[in-house]
Amino acid sequence: MQWLLQEFEDTAKLAEALDRLGISYTWHKFVPFVGELIPEPIVADPGSVVMFGSYTLWKNAEVNGYWPGVFKLRPFVQEQVWHPYLLNGADALFMTLRDIPEGLADDGRDWFLRPVDDSKAEPGNVKSTGEIIRMAERVLALDEDEIPMGSLRHDTRLMLTKPVRILREWRLWAVNGRIVTYSLYKDGSRVVYRPEIDDDALDFGQRIVDINPGYSPAYVIDLCRTEEGLKLLETNCLNAAGFYAADLVKLATAIDGLVRD
């Protein structure tokens, strides 16, 4: 596998793991909007290239026909098999940004919101209806050609759910149908990065993978423990998600061993 890395703190940690494994890689800068890499990589086999850095690297991977390139994901909320396990999935409200000012009652209610797709245009967070409406109005006041790529847009589809008290949160990395590493990243209200997971949470994560085998060759799963039990928070693009306290040697080994069908 040929590894192309964009320089960030997390990719520097990944490079250390690749060094330990004796896997070569090259560093590149990504030119926004243009979508080019500097320096331009010399690729021996487009069918065996993986990229790590910003999510927008998917554009370069797609143009050049790289596989696996960047593991783009279908919106997790559209995966019917996962609906019973989603955090408030059954009660979710889906709206495009342009529909919010008239479609969302300004009743002071709090919502957890996030984009349906994996763009990271708005991180998952809790806002009041008033804050959400004002956010939408600020975006809608702009012409669409004024809005930078990767930001909220008029047609961005959002998921809104009732906020739930979360006790613990973990990130798990699934490659080729199995969980290869994991990290605790929140314990109550405290942000903590530790390479640990409760046994039942690990089993739950593997079950999430098992029941949806065709989702992606590799992806990130965020799980949480609530007062009602374990829930699926979201999935994320593995190439651009934070590593927290993951075992990057195990992760790199698993990805380097992927073979195209």
**pLDDT over 70 at 201, yes or no:** yes
Sheet of 178-187, strands arranged across: 190-194, 178-187, 166-175, 218-226, 229-236
Residue 108 phi, psi (nearest 5):
80, 0
Instruction: Return the pLDDT at 120.
Output: 66
pLDDT band at 166 (very low <50, low <70, confident <90, very high): very high
Distances 150 to 81, 113, 115, 145, 218 between C-alpha atoms, Å: 28, 17, 11, 13, 22
Q: Determine the 3-state secondary structure of 42 from DSSP.
A: coil
pLDDT band at 243 (very low <50, low <70, confident <90, very high): very high
Closest CA to 219 of 113, 76, 86: 76
pLDDT band at 15 (very low <50, low <70, confident <90, very high): very high
The 10s digit of each residue's pLDDT in 96-115 is 999 999 999 889 889 988 88
Strands 25-30 and 2-6: parallel
Q: Count of H helices and E strands in the chain?
A: 6, 14
Closest CA to 186 of 236, 235, 226, 238: 226
Beta strands per DSSP E along the chain: 2-6, 25-30, 37-38, 49-52, 68-69, 93-96, 110-115, 125-128, 157-161, 166-175, 178-187, 190-194, 218-226, 229-236
- Cα distance between residue 3 and residue 50, in whole Å: 5
**pLDDT over 90 at 90, yes or no:** no
The 10s digit of each residue's pLDDT in 18-62 is 999 999 999 999 987 778 999 999 999 999 999 999 998 999 999
Q: Determine the 3-state secondary structure of 50 from DSSP.
A: strand
Q: 142-148 long-range contacts, Cβ below 8 Å, gap at least 24?
A: none
**Residue 193, token pair as written in the block:** 């990065």
Distances 237 to 58, 82, 131, 143 between C-alpha atoms, Å: 10, 17, 28, 29
The 10s digit of each residue's pLDDT in 206-241 is 999 999 999 999 999 999 999 989 999 999 999 999
CB atoms within 10 A of CB 37: 20
**pLDDT over 90 at 193, yes or no:** yes
pLDDT band at 149 (very low <50, low <70, confident <90, very high): confident
Instruction: Return the pLDDT at 176.
Output: 97
pLDDT band at 118 (very low <50, low <70, confident <90, very high): low
Summary mean pLDDT of the chain: 92
User: Which ranges constitute the DSSP H helices of 8-128?
Assistant: 9-21, 57-64, 100-103
**Residue 220, token pair as written in the block:** 């990130």
Instruction: Return the pLDDT at 77.
Output: 86
**pLDDT over 80 at 123, yes or no:** no
